[in-house]
Amino acid sequence: MPVDVLVGLQWGDEGKGKIVDVLAPTYDAVARFQGGPNAGHTLTFDGIKHVLHQVPSGIFHPHILNIVGNGVVLDPIVFRAELQKLTDRGVDWAKNLYISKKAQLILPSHRTLDRINEEARGGSKIGSTLKGIGPTYSDKIGRVGLRVGHILLPDFEARYKEAVAQHASLASHYNKELEIEELEADFFSAVDFLRTLQLIDTEYLLNDLLTQGKRILAEGAQGSLLDIDFGSYPYVTSSSTIAAGACTGLGIAPRHIDKVYGITKAYCTRVGSGPFPTELHDEVGEQIRQAGREFGSTTGRPRRTGWIDLPALRYAIMLNGVTELHLMKADVLDAFTEIQACTHYRTATGESTPQLPDPGELTTITPEYRTLPGWNSDLTIITDAAKLPANLKAYLDFLEQELQVPISIVSVGPDRVSTLHR
């Protein structure tokens, strides 16, 4: 059986966790392929909100294997706290959670370096979540990072001390000290906890499942426009967030990939710094923020808001090979009599283009909008896609025509049941 991949098509926070939770019952395994605790996947069901950071979003289904792949960077302290919250809510995760021994460890010193690096940028901050993601991936590429599998070796503590010494040297270039002593006891306690879990070579598990004809859903974090290669560089994350990253982040061959689910909001948001062509700085943007509860599930930071950006979506759809779209948070636009959709950009030379320019040019373009009638009705009470208001159906038809990909799911509320299949 194939692997289906779920990715965000914007700057993250599209609602991927909810969709994984909805789709998960039809799969045998959910595998997270990149990112770390900078991600926050929110799931709501039975009136309870759950926020996952590193645990795959299929964890609430007892029959599903949940796999943390080698492309993930793992913070043992955050991971232990996350699993404790699941235990407190009656979730039995012990038998169906597996962690790759090749996943990279986030050390306390990585978090300190993240803060030091961000502070040194002054007015040109990336907008890091300060979770140590960038420094951890830097160590991975520099071939000096520690992996989950290293905690099983007798010389782990020596390896740890060597890594911290290197980080202290880096901090000294900024005339800073790491000051991580108070965090280390908690870190080593969390490492002891991590040793009790199922730490395996997950690439073998995944390929064995494929051989057995099992269905796997690969779960991405962040969004395509934050991809380290194709996002709005340098205001991006430090991993490959597009569908191709599922292969390297899980150890599966490209020939196994079948469907690619692309997740997008009915509007657009962004957290942190970087260009955002359709951003709204007025009361409309604030209305969207409040209606959509647009505050980071990991950081709590207010998200920047704007109208949907079709050139950026076309670009993300192309990169990922998206086969079907899932439109999230349509209900957030319920109160609008008119909504806008950016269809093209006007360049500095006056040319109109449907393509996303190089990130360096994004601050020089002007969005060109098409005005569409709003549905001005309460979508949260609708349980059948056939009963969606005519203006929303027209909006969906417009998006499908512009993007040339079918919209198979429309979300009209945060709860699991507020997910309409078309």
Residue whose tokens read 């959709």: 341
Q: Looking at 50, 102, 131, 140, which residue is catalytic?
A: 140
- Asked whether residue 419 is marked as a ligand-binding residue, the answer is no
341 burial (CB, 10 Å; 0-12 / 13-18 / 19+) is buried
- Asked whether residue 87 is marked as a ligand-binding residue, the answer is no
pLDDT band for position 18 (cuts 50, 70, 90): confident
Residue 339 has a pLDDT of 96
pLDDT tens-place string over residues 141-161: 999 999 999 999 999 999 999
- Asked whether residue 300 is marked as a ligand-binding residue, the answer is yes
- Asked whether residue 16 is marked as a ligand-binding residue, the answer is yes
CA pair distance 3, 252, nearest whole angstrom: 9
pLDDT tens-place string over residues 58-79: 899 999 999 999 999 999 999 9
| Residue ranges in 173-201 assigned as alpha helix (H) | 181-195
Q: Please say if 140 is a catalytic residue.
A: yes
Residue whose tokens read 């996947």: 41
pLDDT band for position 120 (cuts 50, 70, 90): confident
CA pair distance 31, 65, nearest whole angstrom: 8
φ/ψ bin of 321: left (φ > 0), alpha (ψ from -120 to 50), beta (otherwise): left
The model's pTM is: 0.94
CA pair distance 333, 291, nearest whole angstrom: 8
pLDDT tens-place string over residues 390-418: 999 999 999 999 999 999 999 999 888 89
Question: Which is more confidently placed, 197 or 1?
Answer: 197
Share the mean pLDDT of the chain: 94
pLDDT band for position 297 (cuts 50, 70, 90): low
Average pLDDT over residues 100-121: 93
Q: Please say if 192 is a catalytic residue.
A: no
- Asked whether residue 143 is marked as a ligand-binding residue, the answer is yes
* Percent of the chain whose pLDDT exceeds 70: 99
pLDDT band for position 41 (cuts 50, 70, 90): confident
CA pair distance 11, 309, nearest whole angstrom: 11
Cα torsion 155, 157, 163, 167 to 10°: value is -170
Do 364 and 347 form a contact (C-beta atoms < 8 A)?
A: yes
CA pair distance 199, 14, nearest whole angstrom: 30
pLDDT tens-place string over residues 318-351: 999 999 999 999 999 999 999 999 999 999 999 9
CA pair distance 229, 206, nearest whole angstrom: 26
Q: Looking at 41, 102, 131, 256, which residue is catalytic?
A: 41
Four-residue CA torsion sign, 46, 52, 58, 60: negative
CA pair distance 394, 169, nearest whole angstrom: 59
